Structure 1
């Protein structure tokens, strides 16, 4: 990364373990302001574990700073208040509550005026949520539930949104909508750290990328360079790149 670029999130030499099993080893990553960074890799590579550790859900050995602040002693709620937010893979919505009430839960740490602005912003990004604002979250389609999970996270006015497999199980037309919105978030000043198995879509929208295998980053760089890498193309893009560079 260009040293002149303002770093928002910096993770240095992160180790995360489940008991004696080390799931993430010596991982370092940076996300700049107004940047989309993606982590691609197979199931079990450690991607979700890393996001959960950054959020404070799992203990992390190493150093994590956000907007220059050391997160070591901050609880999850304090990390959210600082501007860090995670949309988990399983969305974790309240199915018996309606759309608007789910959204309002995402604004519990912000001022009423900010919440009012945020909900209009979310409805502008996701018009379908506005149409269904009184519908129970549990009755929404999978794509609508993903939009609601992202919208709820945005209600807290985050500086960095971490997304864990946002396209999982969704129809291609909905996936295209989700990735279009991710691009719009960057344009509106929200940085994104994206974990995604749909490597092709992730690399198209991202500025930079990290490739994770067995708890370690094996490759990182500009997303366009990662996409043209021979090993990445064969392993994660389902194709063989003629003239692609080797690792």
Structure 2
């Protein structure tokens, strides 16, 4: 089945690349995976790239980002390591889920990159009016072995309603709830509630935007296993950065599987 975006979306008139930021597994004491973050060809920030995307290019941009991330990760990820590649996608740029996955599947096959090592995350900040369409996307992605995640959880349009309509494999707690959590009982209470709900639903929790050791330790003690943020490592342009902030020996590669 074809989709409108596949045939009508305009080609991009600019180029881009990716930076990678590690996701740290506090239980295993090693890197669990890397998030691919769009950058300009000279390392310019995401806004520089996104500001060039015209409405009629939205579908093509979403597709090309997936392919670029897979191509780079297939070259950068150490051979034989069980690392997750996290790719952002825009639900409103997916017209027909099965058809819109073709380029992704072809890229994975061409690069010998297993679909089980790919996580697709969508931000709660993007309003999705048709939740049934989003459910169809998630269902289709799971058929192919992809992991699914909600980014920026707790700061967007839908909140807990997303967890009622469907359950992703993972949620990333928004950094606004993380910032200064070591000194904020209110933030600690809210995050504890999210952790409890996620646990009941069998959803893994990741804390993003960690900038201090105090934030990390409070969240680790609360039971969170996966972490991401500048305290561990800033995104590195077209390479995998090392983690050097955690006070243990941390290999560059190696990963645990989502429970």
More strand by share: 1
Decide: shared fold, TM above 0.5. Answer: no
Provide the TM-score with structure 2 as the length reference.
0.36
Provide the TM-score with structure 1 as the length reference.
0.37
